[in-house]
């Protein structure tokens, strides 16, 4: 084998196997889509969550009402409850507690992802937004990801949302602006930038209830301040927020602090 032949083989090998790599990529995407479809079917087959009537006296002010609610799993037993909780419109509630104490399960209940094993759950909110530690960002442009929250948003509205989320400096560095591409799960962005892009998406939405699962986890102090300021701005606009967090700065921004202990909620007084 001569040097020329060996180099030719090395250069041509990737092209030769490219169709096989493409096939494997599409096969993986298909398997992921099938798994997602099965999860969607499970959710769609769930019994509809009971929603409170707006004709009731307190329904306008109550976003969610949980009475004696518990959640149980076949292999784990009871993971939450029994708990009672009323979420008022325009309130900011911080829920702290150790990992596995039931904070994320409570958020899933408020989103309607889960049905309680016992007790009653009444949800009055028409729309909600969800933000967790790893926001769902798609392969596409910044505009594509922002349009997921508001398909009709124009460039000025999207630029304002990015500015409110603290991404103005990043946007000024990108040669293609809103048309700049990012990868799946925010590939090409830092963790803080991905979190702020998700914040901008919520800013564009008209969600009345915002659910946040550790929104300031793994963020630096500067980015955390941006997130907290966004929470306060949304509260001033009349939006309702429930967040699972253990960060003191985020808890301080809340009006109510609830601690989850072994699946039970305990109100923490700021006076103490």
Would you call 70 helix, strand, or coil by DSSP?
strand
In a domain, 188, yes or no: no
In a domain, 91, yes or no: no
In a domain, 167, yes or no: no
Please report which residue ranges of the chain form alpha helices under DSSP H.
3-44, 103-111, 142-147, 155-164, 168-173, 191-204, 221-236, 248-252
Pairing relation of β-strands 118-123 and 62-73? antiparallel
For residue 57, the model assigns a pLDDT of: 38
Give the H/E segment covering residue 66: strand 62-73
CA angle 255–257–49, rounded 5-degree value: 90
What's the mean pLDDT in 92-120? Answer: 86
- How many structural domains does the chain have? 1
pLDDT band at residue 146 using 50, 70 and 90 as cut-offs? very high
With 60 as the cut, is the pLDDT of residue 42 above it?
yes
For residue 51, the model assigns a pLDDT of: 46
Q: What are phi and psi for residue 179, nearest 5 degrees?
A: -90, 0
Say if residues 83 and 69 touch (Cβ distance below 8 Å). Answer: yes
Chain segment 154-172, per-residue pLDDT in tens: 899 998 888 888 788 888 8
Average pLDDT, the chain: 82
Pairing relation of β-strands 209-213 and 128-131? parallel
For residue 218, the model assigns a pLDDT of: 65
Q: How far apart are CA 63 and CA 263, in angstroms?
A: 21
For residue 53, the model assigns a pLDDT of: 43
The whole domain housing 40 covers 1-45
Chain segment 245-264, per-residue pLDDT in tens: 888 888 888 889 999 888 88
Chain segment 170-223, per-residue pLDDT in tens: 888 888 888 888 877 667 788 778 888 888 898 888 888 889 888 777 677 877
Query: Which residues, at least 6 apart from 11, have a Cβ–Cβ distance to it below 8 Å?
Result: none
DSSP 48: P
With 60 as the cut, is the pLDDT of residue 38 above it?
yes
Of 272, 271, 237, 233, nearest to 253 by C-alpha is 233
What's the mean pLDDT in 41-47? Answer: 69
In a domain, 28, yes or no: yes
In a domain, 35, yes or no: yes
Paired residues of 85 in beta bridges: 66
With 70 as the cut, is the pLDDT of residue 60 above it?
no
Residue owning tokens 């979420």: 87
Question: Could you tell me the two tokens for 111?
Answer: 């989103």
With 80 as the cut, is the pLDDT of residue 104 above it?
yes
In a domain, 128, yes or no: no
**pTM greater than 0.75 (yes/no):** no
In a domain, 127, yes or no: no
What's the mean pLDDT in 80-91? Answer: 87
């Amino acid at each position: 084998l001569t040097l020329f032949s060996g180099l030719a083989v090395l250069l041509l090998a990737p092209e030769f196997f490219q169709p096989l790599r493409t096939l494997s990529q599409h096969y993986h995407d298909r398997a992921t889509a099938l798994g997602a479809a099965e999860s969607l079917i499970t959710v769609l087959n769930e019994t509809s969550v009971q929603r409170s009537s707006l004709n009731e006296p307190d329904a306008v002010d109550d976003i969610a009402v949980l009475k004696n609610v518990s959640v149980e799993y076949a292999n784990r037993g009871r993971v939450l409850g029994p708990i009672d909780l009323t979420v008022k419109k325009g309130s900011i509630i911080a829920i702290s507690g150790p990992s596995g104490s039931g904070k994320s399960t409570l958020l899933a209940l408020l989103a309607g992802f889960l049905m309680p094993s016992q007790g009653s759950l009444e949800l009055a909110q028409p729309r909600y937004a969800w933000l967790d530690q790893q926001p769902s960002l798609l392969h596409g442009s910044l505009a594509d990801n922002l349009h997921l929250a508001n398909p009709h948003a124009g460039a000025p509205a999207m630029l304002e949302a990015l500015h409110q989320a603290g991404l103005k400096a990043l946007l000024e560095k990108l040669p293609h602006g809103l048309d700049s591409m990012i990868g799946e799960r925010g590939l090409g962005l830092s963790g803080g930038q991905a979190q702020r892009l998700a914040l901008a998406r919520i800013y564009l939405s008209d969600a009345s209830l915002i659910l946040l699962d550790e929104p300031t986890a793994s963020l630096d102090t500067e980015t955390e301040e941006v997130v907290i300021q966004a929470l306060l701005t949304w509260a001033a606009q009349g939006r309702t927020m429930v967040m699972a967090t253990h960060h003191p700065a985020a808890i301080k921004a809340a009006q109510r602090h609830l601690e989850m202990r072994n699946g039970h909620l305990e109100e923490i007084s700021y006076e103490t």
